[in-house]
């Protein structure tokens, strides 16, 4: 009996860890693709040309204005309704729940990250842009060498927030049959009726993953900090405090 | 949860009302025989426009009464209170598509099953899906069902996809992401009748994964239980059961 219970616990733990690994993949890939998309989107949003601003505005409006769950369902169940898509060259990708989740998550987080980046760009002191122009920088040079590096730095804390939200949002992948962390927990609960135990374990793993993200963003903030503008720490805390 | 509440209430009321019993005339079948059912589980039991209980369960109950030569009195009762009301003596038997489970057996007695919740595979018509060769196949099923538990134990070589709702599994079957769905045959039967289910069919045998659906009576009413069992057996033997079955399903649900 004890041996059986022990075996069950080991198997459940292995399944939860496999789920956590999938959660990490989904979050990391979605952030990678989403952030890549966010740069052109943010530049379009801040463009002087209306024909560039409008589509970006529409994109951001749509993806921030509808629930992530709806977006996942549209990509996974919605697209599959069309014969043309099922016979199309993209079907090998779109037939997989894994890629559908990554597509939906990427498109969603791109909208939020674009806005975060835009906020960072708006916060770049006007004087620096004027200085760039005074030095004869082209518009592209000005954006690439002055505005974006500053914007990214300033957007980092808000971006860290978005990564954490994506981590937790990835739980929605369980609704399209992916056995990521939440999906595994729910399946184990259905089998054993141990709801509190498995949700608590899953929650603990999410906390640990969040901690990793917090630390990672913090590291980037330090590394990219301008000389003399190092991130202030609360008096009395040390560098390396758990949630510094 | 529903089961637990019903069980606790049943235990409580059983203690309270253990003296409030209806006296039976011999030979152990009260006349009229009062049958409790629910009314929200079509096509098994439902209330029609005129407020009458109808459905497969009701037809079975009426046929049993006829065979036992007693008058049938039907009573609708919400699911949560259906066992407590039996124990409180509001009626004498429950004919409401109740699954025979170990939890319920602690408070009531069951007759033999009068139909089965068999689990079946559904796959594309002419797709050549073979339930005997599940290895490498993608099978969809609903999370937390006996079908899902069976697949977890018996279909090691298959990729099992778990859905929160049966309807989501249908979408994925239609999208060809699944080779087959494994689920309650009677529910699948209803889906196959819809437009979305037109290109699909049941494949292979029906799997009986639980003890089936029975009639619940109070534990001390052993004579009534035996009479009901005998009447059921006779209905099965003389074709009465098959006639009722055919009104609702084109295949045997026994």
Q: Is A69 on the interface with B (CB under 8 A)?
A: no
Distance from CA of A49 to the nearest CA of B (A): 42
The confidence score (pLDDT) of residue B10 equals 61
Mean per-residue pLDDT over chain B, rounded: 87
Q: Residue B238 domain-assigned?
A: yes
Residues 116-145 of B with CB under 8 A from A: 140, 143-144
Q: Which domain holds residue A208?
A: 13-224
Q: Residue B75 domain-assigned?
A: yes
Please give the angle made by the CA atoms of A243, A16 and B209, to the nearest 5 degrees: 150
Q: What is the pLDDT of residues B33-86, one digit of tens each?
A: 999 999 888 788 989 999 899 999 999 999 999 999 999 999 999 887 888 899
In this structure, the answer to whether residues B238 and B193 fall within a common structural domain is no
Report, as an integer, the average pLDDT of B152-167: 90
Characterize the bridge pairing of strands B72-76 and B33-37: parallel
Show which of B190, B207, B224 is a domain's final residue.
B207
Question: Are the Cβ atoms of A95 and B152 closer than 8 angstroms?
Answer: no
Q: How confident is the model at residue B25 (pLDDT cuts 50, 70, 90)?
A: very low
d(CA B253, CA B26): 33
Q: Residue A237 domain-assigned?
A: no
Q: B152: which 2 tokens? A: 């977890």
| Report for B4-18, B73-87, B127-141: range of highest mean pLDDT | B127-141
Q: Residue A240 domain-assigned?
A: no
CB pairs under 8 A between A and B: 36
Q: How confident is the model at residue B5 (pLDDT cuts 50, 70, 90)?
A: low
Q: Residue A230 domain-assigned?
A: no
Residue A210's CATH number? 1.10.3720.10
- For B1, residues 6+ apart whose C-beta sits below 8 A from its C-beta are none
Q: Residue B152 domain-assigned?
A: yes
The confidence score (pLDDT) of residue A189 equals 82
Residue tagged 């009321």 (tokens) = B13
Residue stretches of chain A with pLDDT short of 50: 1, 236, 240-244
Q: Residue A53 domain-assigned?
A: yes
Q: Residue B103 domain-assigned?
A: yes
The confidence score (pLDDT) of residue B106 equals 85
In this structure, the answer to whether residues B199 and B228 fall within a common structural domain is no
Report, as an integer, the average pLDDT of B112-138: 93
Q: Which domain holds residue B217?
A: 2-116+212-248
The confidence score (pLDDT) of residue B13 equals 57
Judging contacts by C-beta atoms under 8 Å, the chain B residues touching residue A175 are 164, 168
How many domains does the structure of chain A reveal? 1
Q: What is the pLDDT of residues B207-231, one digit of tens each?
A: 988 889 999 999 999 999 999 999 9
> Scanning every residue of chain A, which has its alpha carbon at the shortest distance from the alpha carbon of B153?
A191
In this structure, the answer to whether residues B66 and B149 fall within a common structural domain is no
Q: Residue A154 domain-assigned?
A: yes
In this structure, the answer to whether residues B138 and B90 fall within a common structural domain is no
Identify the weakest region by mean pLDDT among A100-114, B2-16, B169-183.
Answer: B2-16
d(CA B54, CA B37): 10
Ramachandran quadrant class, A82 (left: phi over 0; alpha: psi -120 to 50; beta: rest): beta
In this structure, the answer to whether residues B111 and B7 fall within a common structural domain is yes
Q: Is B160 on the interface with A (CB under 8 A)?
A: no
Question: Are the Cβ atoms of A80 and B177 closer than 8 angstroms?
Answer: yes
Q: Residue A34 domain-assigned?
A: yes
Q: How confident is the model at residue B136 (pLDDT cuts 50, 70, 90)?
A: very high
**For chain A, first and last CA: distance in Å?**
45
In this structure, the answer to whether residues B129 and B162 fall within a common structural domain is yes
In this structure, the answer to whether residues B223 and B187 fall within a common structural domain is no
The confidence score (pLDDT) of residue B52 equals 92
Q: Residue B138 domain-assigned?
A: yes
Q: How confident is the model at residue B26 (pLDDT cuts 50, 70, 90)?
A: very low
In this structure, the answer to whether residues B53 and B127 fall within a common structural domain is no
- For A48, residues 6+ apart whose C-beta sits below 8 A from its C-beta are none
In this structure, the answer to whether residues B105 and B174 fall within a common structural domain is no
- For A60, residues 6+ apart whose C-beta sits below 8 A from its C-beta are A41, A45, A111, A114, A115
Residue A228 vs residue B97, higher pLDDT: B97
The ipTM is 0.76
Nearest residue, CB atoms, A86 vs list B140, B161, B175: B175
Q: A17: which 2 tokens? A: 């860890």
Judging contacts by C-beta atoms under 8 Å, the chain A residues touching residue B144 are 190
In this structure, the answer to whether residues B194 and B227 fall within a common structural domain is no
Q: What is the pLDDT of residues A32-66, one digit of tens each?
A: 999 999 999 999 999 999 999 999 999 999 999 99
Q: Is B21 on the interface with A (CB under 8 A)?
A: no
Judging contacts by C-beta atoms under 8 Å, the chain A residues touching residue B171 are 77, 80-81
In this structure, the answer to whether residues B106 and B218 fall within a common structural domain is yes
Question: Are the Cβ atoms of B163 and A177 closer than 8 angstroms?
Answer: yes
d(CA A37, CA A53): 15
In this structure, the answer to whether residues B123 and B101 fall within a common structural domain is no
How buried is residue A165: exposed, middle or buried, by Cβ count under 10 Å (0-12/13-18/19+)?
middle
The confidence score (pLDDT) of residue B19 equals 41
Q: A63: which 2 tokens? A: 């993806």
- CA A110 centroid distance within chain: 8
Q: Residue A233 domain-assigned?
A: no
A239 CB neighbour count, 10 Å cutoff:
9
Question: Are the Cβ atoms of A80 and B162 closer than 8 angstroms?
Answer: no
Contact B119, B230 (CB under 8 A): no
Mutate to test the interface with B, among A12, A177, A193, A195 (most CBs of B within 10 A): A177
d(CA A218, CA A99): 30
Q: Is B165 on the interface with A (CB under 8 A)?
A: no
Distance from CA of B165 to the nearest CA of A (A): 9
Q: Residue A27 domain-assigned?
A: yes
Q: Is B146 on the interface with A (CB under 8 A)?
A: no
Q: What is the pLDDT of residues A23-37, one digit of tens each?
A: 999 999 999 999 999
Given a cut of 80, whether residue B145 has pLDDT beyond it is no
Distance from CA of A199 to the nearest CA of B (A): 16
Question: Are the Cβ atoms of A77 and B175 closer than 8 angstroms?
Answer: yes
Q: Residue B253 domain-assigned?
A: no
How many domains does the structure of chain B reveal? 2
Q: B203: which 2 tokens? A: 């494949």
Residue B226's CATH number? 3.40.190.10
> Scanning every residue of chain B, which has its alpha carbon at the shortest distance from the alpha carbon of A76?
B172
CA nearest to B160, candidates A121, A189, A183, A50: A183
Mutate to test the interface with A, among B4, B139, B143, B152 (most CBs of A within 10 A): B143
Question: Are the Cβ atoms of A177 and B140 closer than 8 angstroms?
Answer: yes
């Amino acid at each position: 009996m004890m041996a059986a219970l022990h075996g069950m616990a080991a198997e459940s733990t292995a399944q939860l860890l496999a789920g956590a690994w999938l959660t990490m993949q989904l979050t990391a890939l979605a952030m990678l693709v989403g952030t890549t998309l966010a740069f052109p989107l943010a530049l379009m949003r801040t463009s002087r040309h209306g024909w560039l601003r409008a589509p970006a505005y529409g994109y951001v409006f749509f993806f921030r204005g509808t629930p992530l769950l709806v977006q996942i369902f549209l990509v996974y169940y919605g697209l599959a309704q069309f014969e043309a898509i099922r016979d199309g060259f993209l079907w090998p990708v779109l037939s997989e729940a894994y890629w559908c989740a990554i597509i939906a998550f990427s498109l969603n987080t791109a909208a939020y990250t674009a806005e975060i980046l835009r906020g960072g760009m708006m916060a770049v002191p006007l004087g620096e842009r004027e200085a760039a122009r005074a030095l004869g920088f082209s518009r592209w040079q000005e954006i690439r060498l002055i505005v974006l590096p500053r914007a990214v730095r300033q957007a980092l804390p808000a971006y860290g927030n978005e990564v954490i939200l994506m981590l937790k949002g990835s739980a929605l992948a369980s609704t399209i049959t992916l056995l990521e962390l939440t999906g595994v927990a729910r399946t184990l609960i259905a089998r054993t009726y141990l709801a509190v135990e498995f949700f608590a374990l899953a929650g603990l793993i999410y906390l640990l993953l969040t901690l990793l993200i917090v630390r990672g963003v913090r590291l980037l903030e330090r590394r990219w900090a301008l000389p003399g503008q190092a991130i202030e720490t609360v008096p009395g805390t040390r560098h390396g405090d758990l949630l510094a | 949860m529903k089961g637990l509440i019903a069980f606790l209430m049943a235990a409580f009321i059983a203690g309270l009302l253990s003296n409030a019993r209806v006296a039976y005339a011999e030979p152990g079948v009260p006349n009229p025989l009062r049958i409790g059912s629910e009314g929200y589980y079509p096509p098994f039991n439902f209330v029609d426009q005129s407020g009458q209980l109808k459905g497969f369960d009701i037809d079975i109950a009426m046929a049993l009464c006829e065979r036992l030569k007693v008058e049938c009195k039907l009573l609708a009762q919400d699911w949560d209170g259906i066992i407590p009301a039996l124990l409180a003596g509001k009626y004498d038997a429950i004919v409401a598509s109740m699954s025979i489970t170990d939890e319920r057996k602690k408070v009531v007695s069951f007759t033999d099953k009068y139909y089965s919740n068999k689990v079946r595979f559904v796959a594309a018509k002419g797709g050549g899906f073979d339930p005997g060769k599940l290895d490498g196949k993608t099978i969809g099923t609903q999370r937390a069902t006996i079908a899902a538990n069976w697949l977890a134990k018996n279909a090691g070589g298959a990729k099992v996809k778990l859905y929160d709702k049966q309807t989501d599994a249908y979408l994925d079957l239609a999208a060809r992401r699944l080779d087959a769905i494994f689920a309650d045959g009677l529910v699948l039967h209803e889906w196959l009748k819809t437009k979305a289910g037109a290109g699909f069919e049941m494949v292979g045998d029906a799997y009986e994964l639980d003890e089936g659906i029975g009639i619940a009576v109070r534990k001390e009413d052993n004579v009534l239980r035996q009479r009901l069992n005998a009447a059921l057996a006779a209905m099965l033997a003389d074709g009465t059961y098959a006639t009722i079955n055919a009104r609702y399903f084109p295949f045997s649900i026994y």
